[in-house]
Amino acid sequence: MINSRIIALAASLLCLAGLCSCTDSDQKQEFLKINHRDSLGRYVFAIDFTDSLVTYDVDFYTRLDTKRSVFRLMDDIQVDVLWISPDGKEYAERVYIPKLSYVGGTAFSKEYLSPYRKNLTPVKPGVWTLCLEVPPIIGLRGMGVRYAPSEKKDKE
């Protein structure tokens, strides 16, 4: 007999795969497992903002596999965000993914898809570096970013 926890994990993975596969053609996304952080413990992504006539929607997503007792005690998920522009300027802030804002999961697994910015206009077009740093959380599987054009701007 297959363990019910394994079945629940498989179902969660299928749901997450479905979420990732139902994307617009212009939408881009990447998920980095916890063991793919850089030497400073950050998840580092290259974000293509080369089209200066577009604003972008950016979302973060993650997965947390932990016991209910641990989940009840945890706080919102703190994310330190660092954007590095194509010319090397840095922009930093701290945001939080609300603990209870998960979009799917089971008693042992929570999946998050959290809007970060809507209609983001980069100050400089090009490929940006996005660094996400999350304090240690029991069961965190990694971090992901999803972004897509939200609208075209009028030429000035």
Domains of the chain: 4-152 (2.60.120)
Distance CA 156, CA 37 (A): 40
Distance CA 137, CA 22 (A): 28
CA dihedral 135, 82, 121, 34 (to 10 degrees): -50
Digit-coded pLDDT (tens) for 26-50: 899 999 999 999 999 999 999 999 9
Contact status, residue 56 vs residue 153, Cβ threshold 8 Å: no
Over residues 103-132, mean pLDDT: 93
| pLDDT higher than threshold 90 for residue 9 | no
Helices (H), 32-121: 68-73
Distance CA 114, CA 6 (A): 26
